[in-house]
Structure 1
Amino acid sequence: MRLPGRLSAAIAVLTDVETRKRPVSEALKAWGINNRFAGAGDRAAIGNLVYDALRRRASHAAIMGDDSPRTLVLAVAVRDWGHDPAALNESFSTDDHAPQALSAEEIARVTGQLSDDTEGYIRADVPQWLAPALERAFGDNWIAEGQAMAGRPSLDLRTNVLKAQRERVLKSLDRFNAVKTAISPVGVTMPAGSGDARTPNVTSDEGYLKGWFEVQDQGSQIVSALAGATPGEQVLDLCAGAGGKSLALAAAMGNKGQIFAYDSDRNRLAPIYDRLKRNGARNVQVRAPVPGALDDLIGKMDRVVIDAPCTGTGTWRRRPDTKWKLSPELLAQRVAEQAALLADAERFLKPNGTLVYITCSILPQENDDQIAAFLAAHPGFATIDPRQLWQAALGAAAPQGVVTAGSGIALTPRLTGTDGFYLNALVRTP
């Protein structure tokens, strides 16, 4: 496919997303099934156009004076991908699959700049109703944080040290120009490309099939390390999901001790079994969600890890469509679920045990506010110094800006080059 056809396809996918209210991934899959002539490069380019349009929807719509799928996709082509609008129009004139040409007014707009008095939420490319929360979380840097969250993510991998070392993984993926992550001592990364660049398919690599590495954002690797699990401990992973952090904890513990992986949703938990086998993680015991599944663990855990259900605002780079679907009602629902999990988790800890609370959110309501409310209701807990936690887990000083007002740790694309994550570790006093 030529560029005009790819642009038209992206417009069609975005239109499908808007009219049928379904996730981008489903709309892209459906388009691919209905247009089997498109090659892998075409599908990658179309996906990039769609995701880039959603990442910067607010600023593109503001400068164009319109937020239709056609306008957004053409704004991406010019403003993000660097195509000359006049050259685009010329290519459209000779292609039957091209979108409608840009008008003179559209060309003037798309080559212009946002005015200095443009509202902050537009420059940050975030929903207007979330601006106060983000400003509370990041102060004067909140717009810069939003802009960083509107970029493309890298592809990050975690070396499974139970089976391989990082140098071996790097050699295995040399054809993809993989490099070491900046913070995680076991991470490998492939920075995001621009324009129609394709993301490497690493899950077909020999190293992945042999369990040498797992796909895991560096931020997730960092919070897994900060969770502080050590060999011989008894650890409960209360929201294990597909097992990404359980696998990281098993590797950190050297398969010594015991991890109890639990999730209230059987479907989320289902992939963990194959992943445990491939990774050679032998100290993980999966607990299915049945009545009384965890009763024998009450008061016995050295460490309880809560990877809490959240709004996923920290993953906006990867799932930008969710940014514009988030509502105050969904946020309130997640906050209630998190509070209930924290209240339930503490009963599993032994004296001096550690409670580790993690989200992939950048909103204070799900992060510092939750910990403050928990501490107010549970005076027998105290926060662990986040700077000491970072130094002990990662062997270096915490980067500037990651420590929050509530003694937590916040990771963001701007601060750490990762997805957005939050961690707070609390110790139960005797």
Structure 2
Amino acid sequence: MAKYLKSAPPMAQDTERLRAVRETVVGVIADIRERGDAAVREYSEKFDKWSPSNFRLDQEQIQKIVATVPEQALDDIKTVQRRVRTFAQHQKDSLADFEVETEPGVFLGQRNIPVGSAGAYIPGGRYPLVASAHMTVVTAKVAGIDRVTACTPPIHGEIPAATVAAMHLAGADEIFLLGGVQAVAAMAVGTETITKVDMLAGPGNAYVAEAKRQLFGEVGIDLFAGPTEILVIADEHADPFVVAVDLLSQAEHGPDSPAVLITTSEPLARRVIELVEELLVDMPTADFAGPAWRDHGEVAVVEDLDAAYALADQYAFEHVQILTDHPRQAMEKMRNYGALFLGEGTCVSYGDKVIGTNHTLPTRGAANYTGGLWVGKYLKTVTYQEVTNPVSSALLGELCGRAARLEFFEGHARSGDVRAHKFGGAVLPWAPAGL
């Protein structure tokens, strides 16, 4: 049984707000379907105060923008993208095409084929999320996607130069200074100047998330992303200062970002609570981190680490950080998480920004059934079949006839019957005379 020293009230569904978001998104998507670029421009003017002659940046514009980014920042972007590219390539290499002969002359195979095109959304808003360009665009290009369209919004009427540089260096084929639902919808349905894509990837605010939800099926998506989550599992040997700092590192994403500590040590738990309050006093992003901790922060004390792992699995959080004497034990004990961060030398911020794994991860319990964005999300695993042995085809035909008629699918049965007749001499009582 967990003892909560700090608990958050159950997350209430703001029904009216959700309904307003849904209705707004429905209207924007429908309008863009009908009026294309004209609608995109109106919404960009309305929501971002942005209406250039062309939303797409040409190569000359891109080069001029990249030239304004400090050399150190460009070097750092290249370093991080190299790490993301290396990890994504290892992921791709783990996916093998294969062909097996399961019976004489019966060949079954699997291929991993990249989708034809992808739209990458890189958010702006309060923070220019430069790293999202690495995660979406680099991973798509490693997967082998021919055309990656990338969109990011202007920030207070200014071009986010570092984000544009990251999109360009990642390999984006088309870059648009366009944000919000209008960007996501334009990529998904296509307009006069924005070519339709096959799938969408990247995080965003509630409106972007809702747009992806409504467009899913018409295009593929990476996953539904909600507020960022962090859960720390700590034993009595953990440094409470490190725990407090790391909890707040994710709480600063927004006032609705949950931050949870599960520990086997009540003294550590109480000290962490004290340190969080002290750190918030002069934290530059306290206007987000403070409400997140106040309304969504939790601290639970449990009997032992097995109980901690079990409770953490119930949360199924996006980021789970293990600050214990034997952090790798968590890999054997846990199954529901977006990503694990093992030991004091590791932190969630590394995963968010620099280490090379993908930071687009499942939230709101989705870790119960899915992992995050990876190279495989951009691939279609397809199969093929070929039967070259007449005897095998005849036997399959007989089996198919019986199996299909068990389900009353006479047409399916007859496809099998024809092979049983052609390759095995079976009688076709249903065939027209003369055949």
TM value normalised by structure 2 = 0.26
With structure 1 as the length reference, what TM-score do the two structures score?
0.26
Specify the structure having the higher radius of gyration (Cα): 2
